[in-house]
Amino acid sequence: MKCKTKITSLSLLILLTGCSTSSDTIRLYPSQDESYSKNIEDGRASVVVYRESHVIDGTTVNVYINGEYLTSLEPNAYSQETVCATNQKLYSQFTGKDPAYKQKATQGQLFKLKANEVNFFKIVNTGNQPSLSPVPIEQAEKELSGLRKQQHTLRRVEHLKNCEKVLGQYDLSAEALFQFNGYSYETMLPKGRKEIQVIAENILQQGASVSSIKVVGHTDPGGLSTYNEQLSKQRAETVKQALVRNGIDGKLILTEGKGDQELVISNCRTQFPANRLARQRCDQPNRRVEVIVYGDKSHK
C-alpha cells in the first residue's frame, strides 16, 4: 500500500495516522472566499474559529471540541460548525504535536456557547503555542474580512448536533447560593433563593415547550475529587428542590454533580501557588450550578 502526500499552494493533505484509507486521515482542500453563515438551526450554537497569518508561526492548527476533531486551520483561514448549545471544551494544537492524542482528551478550556448565535474564537499565541480566545462579533467581523473558509472532509462532531434544543441556560454562582461548603436548602442564601425564583418564573412562562431541565453542580479543584463530586451533586439537588418549591414539575428535572471535572478556569494553582485566598478568588467561577432548559418553542 502506497501513501502519497501532495502539497500545493492551494491544497494540503495531512496524514495523521496511516494512509488515505485510514479513518484518521484529514484532507484540507482549497480555501474559499465565503462569508460566515448567520443562519443557525433553532436551539443550536454556531462556532466560528479563525487564524490570522501574523499571530503565530507553525504548521496547521487542529481544533478539538470535547476531545473530538472539529477542524484544521491554515493561516488566513476560518471554519464554521454547528454544535449543541451547551458548555463545550475547546482545545487547539499544532498538527503532529500530539501524536498519541492524549492532550486533546484532557486539556482545553470550557466555554459557554450561546444558543441561536454565532460564537467566535480566534487562534492566539500563548508561549509560542496556539490557544483559543473568544472574540466579540464586532472585532471578529473585522478580522474575518479577507480570510478564506477552510474546507475539510473529515467530520467528527456530527453527534454534537444530535441534541435537545436549548431554550435557556442559567449559571448560578455557588457564592450566591450557599455559605462555603454549604449545600442544604435550609441554609441557602436569600440572594440565591431570589435568583432561582426568577429562573423558575422564566421557565413557567415557556409552558409546554419545556421538555426537560438539567441541573448540574460544579466545584473548584480544591480537596478530594470524591468529596467535590458529592458536594456538587448535593447542591444540584438543592437547586432542584428550590425550583420545585417555585412551581416547576420535579419530573422534568434531572440532576448531576460533576465535581471539578469541568473547570471554567483551570490554572489558579499555577497562578497563585502560595496564596490560598487568591486561589479561592480565582476559582470562584468554577464553583457554580448550571440550569439548562431543553425543549421546542413550536410546542408552546
Q: Are 228 and 291 in contact (CB under 8 A)?
A: no
| Longest pairwise C-alpha distance within the chain | 69
Residue 265 per-residue DSSP state: -
Q: What is the pLDDT of residues 150-174, one digit of tens each?
A: 876 565 666 555 677 888 889 999 9
Q: What is the pLDDT of residues 111-152, one digit of tens each?
A: 888 888 999 999 999 888 999 999 999 999 999 998 999 876
With bands split at pLDDT 50, 70 and 90, how would you rate the model's confidence at 24?
A: very low
What pLDDT, on the 0 to 100 scale, is given for residue 77? 93
Mean local confidence (pLDDT), 101-107: 69
What pLDDT, on the 0 to 100 scale, is given for residue 253? 97
pTM over 0.75, yes/no: no
With bands split at pLDDT 50, 70 and 90, how would you rate the model's confidence at 71?
A: confident
| Predicted confidence (pLDDT) at residue 13 exceeds the cutoff of 50 | no
What pLDDT, on the 0 to 100 scale, is given for residue 16? 36
Q: Are 236 and 188 in contact (CB under 8 A)?
A: no
Domains along the sequence of the chain with CATH: 12-160 (no CATH), 166-299 (3.30.1330.60)
What pLDDT, on the 0 to 100 scale, is given for residue 86? 79
What pLDDT, on the 0 to 100 scale, is given for residue 12? 37
Average pLDDT of the chain is 83
Q: Are 78 and 48 in contact (CB under 8 A)?
A: yes
- Exposed / middle / buried, residue 173 (Cβ in 10 Å: 0-12, 13-18, 19+): middle
Q: Which of 10-19, 37-46, 251-260, 276-285 has the lowest mean pLDDT?
A: 10-19
Q: Are 262 and 89 in contact (CB under 8 A)?
A: yes
